[in-house]
Chains A and B, each alone.
Chain A
């Protein structure tokens, strides 16, 4: 069983719409949650981190965490073609050495 699961997509949304990316994880002791964006042929880049239940907003991005449901999501408001990328969910146990990454969701924002 995969530890971090994401819908591989592609998820297609029109420009200006809200893109919703979802991630579920299996380890209940996971403490930290991250969203990385990866453009094709490039390296992952951190865009959001969240550590407690609820919402965290940063510009057009909102991360949502529900530890009881073992679910973390990323909302992108006013989606732009430049947001087209693969979004990786990563989960970490506080004292563990490893970030566990999901396989990523490919997002396509259509002009």
Chain B
């Protein structure tokens, strides 16, 4: 099984450019998430989708938009990239949202640099 697949793995943008990070999972999970990871700050939630058709803001949503295209796919869009968005981005999925026992399965990550 592929699990959670993210593309691209690396990306360099110039300030003001836009891009979309793609994520797909084949585990039939209802919930999907986008996190960013910065040195010394742990993983921080950008947006999540508890189930198909719903999306909600996380801890650091400013500058990002998301689309839950179907149950499998959840994309993250940067409309106008800024250097502060230089980070490693992880997509994750889980089942049993809101039960407290859900476990996150992560994609391989996207290393994004904004110059």
Tally chain B residues at the interface, Cβ within 8 Å.
Answer: 25
Tally chain A residues at the interface, Cβ within 8 Å.
Answer: 28
| Dominant secondary structure at the B interface | loop
When distances are taken between beta carbons in the complex, the residues of chain A under 8 Å from B40 are 8, 103
Closest to B3 in A: A43
Contact of A44 with B104 at beta-carbon distance under 8 Å, contacts A97-B50, A103-B41, A104-B42 already known = yes
Least CB distance, A62 to chain B, in whole angstroms: 18
| A94 vs B108: C-alpha distance when bound (angstroms) | 27
| A31 vs B100: C-alpha distance when bound (angstroms) | 7
B99 at interface by CB-CB < 8 Å: yes
B53 at interface by CB-CB < 8 Å: no
Binding site for B on A (CB under 8 A): 4, 8, 31-32, 34, 36, 42-46, 49, 51, 88, 90, 92-104
